[in-house]
A and B are shown apart, each in its own frame.
Chain A
């Protein structure tokens, strides 16, 4: 008898869960995947356009070589990404443009500045020092590991071949 009642109760609960899920799903905001992709394309493309534009202006105005002006371009982007993150409105831009701002070098600078801002209250060593590379560390770690691996293979192929 008791088992029967328990069973009944569980069934009701399961049905309630299912019903709840259905209602919750119907009220969820529809994910605009197509629109997100389009926004990422245009914002990322605009940043790439800006990068090439800065390089060409520097080459034309100051007669620098292409490599030096590319270095200045990267410094320019990192400077403004850090500054806007510290001023507080870069987070809203990232929420709006998503991958368009995360994938370019601005995302690297943004992750470093935001994590050091977040942990600033815990002091200069255990706050800023140990948390600055919290998100950017994975990029450096796997970049260096894969660069070492592929570079060694490439070098050995060059030596043998």
Chain B
């Protein structure tokens, strides 16, 4: 059941953004930024956590989950450290994604010659 939900949810987000891309003048950069802000907004009212419970991995793959985990980690740290915790814990959960993206893109840039 989670597999089907993942398929539908991830597909729906991609389809909506494709429709926005085709019908307006927004670029992919605009749309990804908008989706990150949307994910952060949804998580500040615990909506995205419920979506992840229902959908599973399909909700953790799109870029909306990036905004979700930023807010999630910041609020978790804020429970113990107060308002300062929002600054301290911001990257706790997304660190994996950013670090692996930096490391792999640097390594593969060094290893392979660009094709054109």
Contacts and interface: CB of A to CB of B under 8 A. Distances in A.
A78 B101 contact: yes
Interface in B56-113: 56-58, 60-63, 65-67, 70-71, 74-75, 78, 83, 86-87, 90, 96-98, 100-102, 104-106, 108-109, 111-112
A55 to B, nearest CB: 4
A147 B40 contact: yes
Nearest to B115: A88
B44 to A, nearest CB: 4
A128 B114 CA distance: 13
Interface of A: 31, 33, 36-49, 51-56, 70-71, 73-75, 77-79, 82-83, 85-88, 98-100, 102-105, 107-109, 112-113, 116-118, 120, 128, 132, 135-136, 138-140, 142-144, 146-148, 150-155
25 contacts: A33-B22, A38-B15, A40-B14, A40-B15, A41-B15, A45-B8, A45-B14, A46-B11, A49-B58, A51-B6, A73-B61, A75-B96, A77-B61, A82-B104, A103-B62, A107-B28, A108-B66, A112-B102, A113-B104, A116-B109, A117-B109, A138-B33, A146-B36, A151-B78, A154-B71
